[in-house]
Amino acid sequence: MNIRHLQSLTAACLLSAQVVFATPFAFVCNSSTNTITVVDVATRDLLGTPISVSPAVDPLAIAITPDSTKAYVCNNGSDTISVIDTASGIVTATITVGVLPESVAFTPDGS
């Protein structure tokens, strides 16, 4: 990835996506492609292919558990939360929640 690509990614994040950090990675919601992009913050490289949350749609917000083992993604367009194993990049569960979820958070102890 070159600096122009990173600048474009940063601009896109500021306009329409949420970025969260699970050191040493950043997780970026890509609403238009229903994916999560993982970026190595030290090298600024994209890691692998984006993680698909399909059939869920419109990933809008993301939170990483305090132990950095899971990412919880609010899928605004499908009223669900996708649970991603951060080590494997695999969606391990999809949880149906209320209408138009917009945020998710954890207490410091992960509860």
Residue 24 sits at φ, ψ, to 5 deg, of -100, 30
Contact 38, 48 (CB under 8 A): yes
Q: Which residue in this structure is represented by tokens 């954890």?
A: 106
Q: pLDDT tens across 36-59, in order?
A: 999 988 888 998 999 999 999 999
Let me know the angle formed at the C-alpha of 28 by 2 and 5, rounded to the nearest 5 degrees. Answer: 15
Question: Would you state the pLDDT for residue 1?
Answer: 41
| Nearest of 59, 50, 67, 63 to residue 20 by alpha carbon | 63
> Residue 13 pLDDT > 50, yes or no?
no
**Cis omega (within 30 of 0) for bond into 55:** yes
Q: pLDDT tens across 93-107, in order?
A: 999 999 999 888 888
